[in-house]
Structure 1
Amino acid sequence: MKKKHAKEQNLLGEQQSKILNKAKNDSEKMSRSPMMYIGNHRKDLSNGDRSSEGNNSSKLMDLINDQNVDWTSLIQRQLTEMTTSRRLHTKEQCDLLRILLDETQKTQMKEITERHIREKKELELSQVRQNIEDSKRLGSEKNIRNKSDLDRRIRELKSNNTKKFLEERKRQIMKHEREKDNLTKSHETQKITLLAEIDKMHEQSMNYQDETPMARYPSSSV
C-alpha cells in the first residue's frame, strides 16, 4: 500500500507542478510591460495593465489553493485507507492469536487426559500381573497342603493387592486432578494475559496517527 500511495502522490505532484509552472510562465508573460510605438515616440502601456497583474496573482493563488485542497484530499484518503488496513490487520492478528492459543490449550488438555488414561491402564495391568505372579508363586509352594488352602491364600493375596490398588488408584486420581486443575488455571492466566495484550493492540491501532504522508507534501505545490 505504501508503494501505491507513493505512486499516487508522485503522479499528483508532477501534474500539479506542470500546471503551476505553466501558470507561472503565462503570468510572467502577461506581466511584461507592453510597448507601443506612435510615430517616433514609444509609449509604455503597462500603467494601464496594473490591474491585470493583480488578476494574474489572484489566479495563481487560487490555483495554489486548489492544488492544496487536492493534495490534502489525497492524503486524507490515503490516511483513511492505511488506518482501515492497519485496523483490519490488527484484528486478523488478534483473531489468529486467539485461535492459536485455543488450539494449543486444547492439545495440552487432550495430551494430559490421554496420559492419565494410560497411567490408569498401566496401574490396572500392574495389579493383574501381581495377582498372576502371586498365584504362580503360591502354586509352587510345598507347604500348602491342599487346594482349599491354596484358594484361601490366593484370595487373601488378591484382597491385599486390591486394597493396595485402590489406595494407589486414589492417589493417582488426586494427582491427575491436581495436574488438570493446574493446567486449567494456567490456561486461564494465559487467556487473561492474551486478552490484555489484544486490548492494547486494538487501542494502539485505534489511536495510531500516521503523519508521514503530510511530510511528503510536494514543495512545488506550495
Structure 2
Amino acid sequence: MMMKPQKDSDRPRENMPIASKEDASVLTPQLTIDDLKQTKTFLKLIKKQQKEVNVLKKKHAKAHTALRSSHSAQLDRTVAQHEKEKHTLEKQLHKNTSRKVSSSLEMSRDIEQQMKTAAMNHKSKVKDMASAQASECSEMLRWHSAEEQTVVEQHLLQQCEQLHKLLMLEQEQQTHQLTLLHERQSKEMRTNQAKTSMESSKAISQDKSIKNKAERERRVRELNSTNTRKFLTERKRLAVKQTKECEQLQAAQREQLERLEKHNEELSNSCYAKSHCQGQIEAVCGDTREDEPLTGQTHTSLQ
C-alpha cells in the first residue's frame, strides 16, 4: 500500500508562518509628526519651554512697570519744581502789585516776564523729557522683543532636535520589531519543517506495505531529498519576502524623515519671516513713538 502524496497547494501553507494583525502593524508602521508631538517626552519639553516664556514675560512686565514708575516720578518732580517756582513768583507779583508805587510796577513787569519764561522753559523741558522717555521705552521694547525672539528661536531649535531624536528612536524600535518578527517567522518555519520531516519519516516506518529494509531506506532517501528541496525553496521564498519587507520599511522610514525635515524647515522659515516682519514694524513704531510724548511706554509680550 502506497502513501497518499500531499497536494502541492498544501505544502507552502504547512511550513510558512501565518501573519497576524500585529505583524501587519510592524510591516506598515503608521507614524506621523503629530504622534511624535503627543509623546510624553515632547510634551514635557513644551511645558518646560512655556514655563521659561512665562518667567521672561514676568521679567519684562516688571521692568516695564519700573520704567513707567521712574518716568512718572521724574515728571512729577519736574512739575512740582515748576509749581513751586511759579507759586514763589506769583507771591512776589501779588506783593509788588499791592504797593502801588512806580518801582513796584516795573518789578511786577519783570516778575511777569520771569513767569512767562519759566512757563516756556517748563513746557520745553517736559517735551524733551517726554521725548527722551519715549525713546527709552522704545529701546526697551526693541531689547525685549529681541530677547523674546531669541528664546522663541532657541525653543524652536530644541523642538526640531527633539522631534528628530524621537523619530530616530521610533524608527529604531520599528527596525527592532521587524527583526524580531523575521526571527520568529524563521524559527516557526524551521519548527514546522522539522515536524513535517519527522511525520513523513514516521509514516514510512509505519507503512506495512514496505516489505524489506532496502525499500524502506530507499523511500526515506527519496523523502529526505524531496523535503530538502521543498524546505530550501520555502526558506528562499521567506528570505526574499523578508528582504522586501526590510526595504519597504526603510523606504517608509526615509519618507518619515523627509516629512519631518520639511516640517522643521517650514517652521524655521516661518519663524524667521515673523522675526523679520516684527523687526520692521518695531523700527517704524519706534520712530513714531519718539515724537509722541508719553505714548511710547508700551510692552510687547511673547506671542
TM-score by length of 2: 0.66
Which string of whole-angstrom CA distances, capped at 9 and with x for unpartnered residues, describes residues 65-101 of structure 1?
2212221221111111101110000000000000011
Q: Map residues 175-186 of structure 1 onto 2, 5 A cutoff.
A: 175-186=241-252
Task: Return the letter of the residue paired with 2:218.
Answer: R
Aligned to 2:65: 10
Aligned to 1:164: 230
Q: Is 2:127 the counterpart of 1:61?
A: yes
Match of 1:40 among 81, 89, 99: 99
Q: Map residues 26-175 of structure 1 onto 2, 5 A cutoff.
A: 26-31=81-86, 34=90, 35=93, 36-37=95-96, 40-41=99-100, 43=105, 44=108, 45-175=111-241
Task: Return the letter of the residue paired with 2:294.
Answer: S
Task: Return the letter of the residue paired with 2:71.
Answer: Q
Task: Count the aligned residue pairs.
Answer: 219
1:39 offset after TM fit, Å?
Answer: 6.9
Which string of whole-angstrom CA distances, capped at 9 and with x for unpartnered residues, describes residues 135-169 of structure 1?
11111111112222212111111111121112222
Unaligned runs of 5+ in 1: none
How far apart in 2 are the matches of 1:189 and 1:27? 74
RMSD (Å) for aligned C-alpha atoms: 2.5
How far apart in 2 are the matches of 1:106 and 1:71? 52
Identity %: 27
1:17–1:220 Cα contact (<8 Å) kept: no
**Structure 1 residues 38 and 78: alpha-carbon distance in aligned structure 2, compared to 1, 3 A threshold:** closer
**Structure 1 residues 110 and 38: alpha-carbon distance in aligned structure 2, compared to 1, 3 A threshold:** closer
Q: Which stretch of the first structure deviates more once superposed, 81-90 or 68-77?
A: 68-77
2:130–2:293 Cα contact (<8 Å) kept: no
Task: Return the letter of the residue paired with 1:3.
Answer: K
Task: Return the letter of the residue paired with 2:272.
Answer: M
How far apart in 2 are the matches of 1:85 and 1:165? 63
1:55 offset after TM fit, Å?
Answer: 1.9
How far apart in 2 are the matches of 1:185 and 1:50? 85
Unaligned runs of 5+ in 2: 1-55, 296-303
How far apart in 2 are the matches of 1:51 and 1:175? 99
Q: Helix, strand or coil for the counterpart of 2:96?
A: strand
Structure possessing the higher relative contact order (Cα contacts under 8 Å, 6 or more residues apart): 2
How far apart in 2 are the matches of 1:48 and 1:11? 36
Aligned to 2:79: 24
Q: Helix, strand or coil for the counterpart of 1:47?
A: helix
How far apart in 1 are the matches of 2:133 and 2:258? 51
How far apart in 2 are the matches of 1:6 and 1:48? 43
Q: Helix, strand or coil for the counterpart of 1:37?
A: helix
How far apart in 1 are the matches of 2:293 and 2:73? 9
Task: Return the letter of the residue paired with 1:87.
Answer: E
How far apart in 2 are the matches of 1:160 and 1:86? 69
How far apart in 2 are the matches of 1:172 and 1:39? 121
**Structure 1 residues 143 and 221: alpha-carbon distance in aligned structure 2, compared to 1, 3 A threshold:** same
1:13–1:221 Cα contact (<8 Å) kept: no
Task: Return the letter of the residue paired with 1:6.
Answer: A
How far apart in 2 are the matches of 1:132 and 1:39? 137
1:94–1:198 Cα contact (<8 Å) kept: yes
1:202 offset after TM fit, Å?
Answer: 1.0
1:38 offset after TM fit, Å?
Answer: 6.6
**Structure 1 residues 104 and 96: alpha-carbon distance in aligned structure 2, compared to 1, 3 A threshold:** same
